[in-house]
Amino acid sequence: MNAELNRPAIRLPDRRRLRTFAFDPMSTRLSGRFLALDVPYEAELRPGPDGSLVQVVDFDAGRNRWYEPLDLNDPAVLAQDGLRPAEGDPRTHQQIVYAVATSVIERFERFVGRRFRWRANQKLRLVPHAFEGRNAFFDPGRRAVLFGYYRADRLDPGRNLPGQVVFTCLSTDIIAHEVTHAILHRMRQYYSEPTNRDVFAWHEAFADLVALFQHFVHRDFVIDAVATTSGDLSKTSGLLQLASEFGESTGRGAALRSAIADRNRTPDRFRAATEPHERGACFVSAVFDAYLDSYQASIVDLLRIATGGSGVLPAGQLSPDLVKRIADEAVRNADRLLGMVVRAMDYLPVVDVRFGDVVRAIVTADRALYPDDAINLRRNLVEALRRRGIYPEEVASLTDEALAWPTADDLDLNDPAAPVDLRNLILLATMDLDPGGKAGALLVPQQPVAAPAPVAAAVGDTPAADESDADERDPGEVLYQTVSKWARLHALEIGLDPDPDLRIALRGIHVAYRQAADGQPRPEVAIQLTQRRPELEDQQLPAASRPRIRAGTVLIAGVDGRVEHIIAKPLPLRDDAAIDKLPPEHPAHEHQAAGVRRLKALNQWAADVEVMDALSGWTAEPAMNRLTFAAIHGEIMTESR
């Protein structure tokens, strides 16, 4: 855009509006409705669209052709909230994947309390027409979400034409789901290693939750849902369903998944479920149980006011004013509940997550900000999860105190023997907080080059070279070294092994500012440490194909360096005699016991995966290595049985 057109120059807008389907072409055709997403205005947006976080690459490899890349800064496009979505114009497909991905990332940032960046600032690539097939998936190796297209089922196409071309990139639900996989992978890269049956299920649950709650971004749509159901949201169809067009066009006769498909609030389904989507769906159902409970509780006063105190609505339509007030409550509750789940992200273990850990993380994170839980949101969620059989096994009860992660006594990052200087990190994170301002410099903790070769070749986490002055020591390296040194010194207390041959790797360090109930920001440092244990891996397999065994610990600390929580996934110590001399109350004893249990569970799980895999009889490659994002996890089409 030419900024010289007007005098004095007009400031660039903060926001850009872009139209999408609601929420896929089939639903839009039936309802006549399009949606406009409100996303940050990126001044530097290039044709593609090619922005700072996502880059749309519209190359169709199967047909070996490029489609014309869309320039969203074209005045003709700007003036009409983006192009009107059309199945026949690939540029609108580019617009939709860009808009939805950007919107999902921004929403995520808002909840997690810090600016979101990809590892080493490498953009996520979105390929709207990547291949022909009934699939779309996030591919961590390619740093890309790949969308397929296919022809609708010829016998059972639902409300589509038999054999019509269906594009997965036009479903806002599918886009939101897959981009969320990418975000979660950014936060916890080792959740790509399915070390128990919950790991991929949590990936699926989180992706579905974000995709479902994304519906509530559209207030008009919620107003409509409230009006047509007289406020009983459990009776809506579109609002709480995912990927209707995809589900129907692939012969399912229904949406791909529904948040409220299973109304029986019992633990049976969760206990039996092993398939990731199925198991994840149990968690999603529980969150929506809690959502509906909280929503109902929050509108009882409105209903009483509207009915002269009886709270019983008369037959017929609600007044439009009431509908709007109820819709606002519906949106507010959705935001609060999703916020609760997303905020828990920093409190999740760095490896080997279980749904019980998720419950504990949610409670710990929420309790720090809302100690009183004045509106019962946390209680509702814990209870809804319990009814569906989702709770940690190792806690004594389901009270806040029992569920919260253990606190740490007398651990401080400012230990004179190995101090960690957080000042630079805090400064950069603070600069990042100003959405209109310049972001802080990128600080990538990285292993010093001179250090011994890494034990673990981690997937896709080779950080790019920093642009700092070559004469100075790289601040990312300094950070890595000081944190690793501190962690080794305190290894026994935080569930890691002090053996000098076992590298302790710093996988991430973040400062977040979250808003608490009192309106004040609560700054916090989250540190992720991992330690690979090659000697515990299956020595009968060739080194390259051994499923990795890792310990990992997350530390939550105040900005003053005081450690508040230790979230450990330990393993048995190499030298277990090391803890004999420690006093009985030392945490190392508990870590050791947990480590022994965990290693046993890891090995049992690997054996189970092997025996259940249809290919394992035919190949020496361990079945665990076949459980990948593309095969299971990123794949949204797997049918829930």
Partner 1 sequence: MAGSTVTVRMYNMGFGDAFLVTVRRKGKVWRMLVDCGVHSQGQARPIAESVKAIIADLAAASPAGKPQLDVVVATHHHADHISGFALPDWEKVVVEEVWLPFVEDQSDADASALRQAQTQTAQRLLGLIEQRTLGLDPGAWPAAVAAARSFALNSAGNAVATDRLIGRNKTHFANPGHHVRYLPSLNDAENEIAVGPDQVIAHVLGPSRDPDELKLMNPPASAGWHQLDVDETGDADDSPYPLFNGTYELRDRLRLPAVLEAAADSLQLDQLGNDTGLLGAASVLEHAVNNTSLFMVLDVAGTRLLFPGDAQYGAWQHVLKDPRKRALLSDAAFYKIGHHGSHNATPREFVEEVWTEGASAMLPWGIVERWKDTIPQQQLLQSLHDHKHLVIRADTPADKQAGITVQDDLWREIVLKTK
Residues near partner 1 (CB under 8 A): 46-48, 50, 55, 57, 59-61, 63, 65-69, 88-91, 125, 127, 129-135, 142, 144, 146, 148-151, 153-156, 163, 165, 250-251, 275, 610-620, 626, 630-632, 635, 637-639, 641
Of 562 and 626, CB closest to partner 1? 626
Judge residue 89's burial from the number of C-beta atoms within 10 Å of its C-beta, 0-12 exposed, 13-18 middle, 19 or more buried: middle
Strands 54-56, 124-132: parallel, antiparallel or unpaired by DSSP?
A: parallel
Q: In terms of Cα–Cα distance, which of 126, 209, 208, 204 is closest to 168?
A: 126
Least distance to partner 1, CB of residue 597, Å: 22
Of 66 and 235, CB closest to partner 1? 66
**Cβ-count burial 444-454 (b if 16+ within 10 Å, e if not):** bbbbeeeeeee
CA gap 635, 633 in Å, rounded:
5
Tokens of 533: 């244990």
CA gap 187, 345 in Å, rounded:
8
In Å, how far are 289, 411, 418, 637 from 614, measured between CA atoms?
Answer: 36, 48, 51, 19
Least distance to partner 1, CB of residue 624, Å: 14
Of 151 and 589, CB closest to partner 1? 151
Residue 377: what residue type?
A: L
Least distance to partner 1, CB of residue 618, Å: 6
Tokens 């007398």 map to which residue?
A: 410
Of 1 and 402, CB closest to partner 1? 1
Least distance to partner 1, CB of residue 164, Å: 10
Question: Does residue 132 contact residue 148 with C-beta atoms inside 8 Å?
Answer: yes
Least distance to partner 1, CB of residue 155, Å: 5
For 525, residues 6+ apart whose C-beta sits below 8 A from its C-beta are 413, 422, 425, 426, 509, 510, 511, 555, 556, 557, 558, 559
Of 204 and 346, CB closest to partner 1? 204
The C-alpha R_g of the chain, in whole angstroms, comes to 25
Least distance to partner 1, CB of residue 438, Å: 22
Of 246 and 288, CB closest to partner 1? 246
Of 146 and 362, CB closest to partner 1? 146
CA gap 168, 253 in Å, rounded:
17
Least distance to partner 1, CB of residue 376, Å: 38
CA gap 271, 442 in Å, rounded:
43
Least distance to partner 1, CB of residue 28, Å: 18
Of 153 and 198, CB closest to partner 1? 153
Q: In terms of Cα–Cα distance, which of 507, 550, 547 is closest to 532?
A: 550
Of 417 and 620, CB closest to partner 1? 620
Least distance to partner 1, CB of residue 275, Å: 6
Least distance to partner 1, CB of residue 199, Å: 16
Residue 266 has a CB neighbour count (10 Å cut-off) of 11
Question: Does residue 503 contact residue 454 with C-beta atoms inside 8 Å?
Answer: yes
Tokens of 113: 């309390």
CA gap 129, 402 in Å, rounded:
49
Residue 43 has a CB neighbour count (10 Å cut-off) of 11
Tokens of 490: 């305190």
Question: Does residue 41 contact residue 16 with C-beta atoms inside 8 Å?
Answer: yes
Residue 621 has a CB neighbour count (10 Å cut-off) of 13
Of 431 and 630, CB closest to partner 1? 630
Least distance to partner 1, CB of residue 489, Å: 41
Question: Does residue 498 contact residue 570 with C-beta atoms inside 8 Å?
Answer: no
Of 130 and 303, CB closest to partner 1? 130
Least distance to partner 1, CB of residue 577, Å: 33
Question: Does residue 90 contact residue 129 with C-beta atoms inside 8 Å?
Answer: yes
Of 91 and 257, CB closest to partner 1? 91
CA gap 127, 137 in Å, rounded:
10
Least distance to partner 1, CB of residue 623, Å: 9
Of 60 and 328, CB closest to partner 1? 60
Of 55 and 447, CB closest to partner 1? 55
Least distance to partner 1, CB of residue 67, Å: 5
Of 135 and 528, CB closest to partner 1? 135
Judge residue 353's burial from the number of C-beta atoms within 10 Å of its C-beta, 0-12 exposed, 13-18 middle, 19 or more buried: buried
CA gap 259, 284 in Å, rounded:
6
Tokens of 471: 């004469």
Least distance to partner 1, CB of residue 626, Å: 7
CA gap 288, 240 in Å, rounded:
9
